Structure 1
Amino acid sequence: MSVPTPTELRATLVTVIAGASETGTSRWEMLLGPVQVLSLALHPRSNWRIEVSGTDDDRHWIDAAIDLVRAEHPYVTGRGDPGL
């Protein structure tokens, strides 16, 4: 994947978490909010963030996946993404 859209990045996060935790994607779909695109001028290391919810155990899985995915995809593009 080149620079993903926010929708593609969110789908990647859901897939990674579901695969690592061996649970269905529907649970993680509910706990992950939309990916927000941030200004590169103010956030040069990574231009996205995502709102999350859930228990401490859920957050463990989510935070680990965010770290993993952010290492590979620190930037998202807003071009062509209907979710923005």
Structure 2
Amino acid sequence: MAAGDAEKGKAKSATCAACHGAKGISMIPMYPNLAGQKEQYLVLQLKAFRDGQRKNMQMGPMASSLSDDDIDNLAAYYAGLNPAG
């Protein structure tokens, strides 16, 4: 069972869509697809970007303002998407 609220995650995902695609499938090869990723993996990665444990010029600033609830909700949303589009 998802820890986050996928509907809230969907509402929060507009910024993510610029690089990772509206449905979590990136049209830009250098950005990973998020659709269908394991929820806990997404949580860990977003927290690592937010907390500075993982460095990335684009993701650091994007994740810096996310709360734990935001991260849980985004992870639930993307984990629930079909990776085939």
- Shorter-chain TM-score bucket reads 0.3 to 0.5
Q: TM-score, normalised by structure 2?
A: 0.36
Higher CA-based Rg: 1
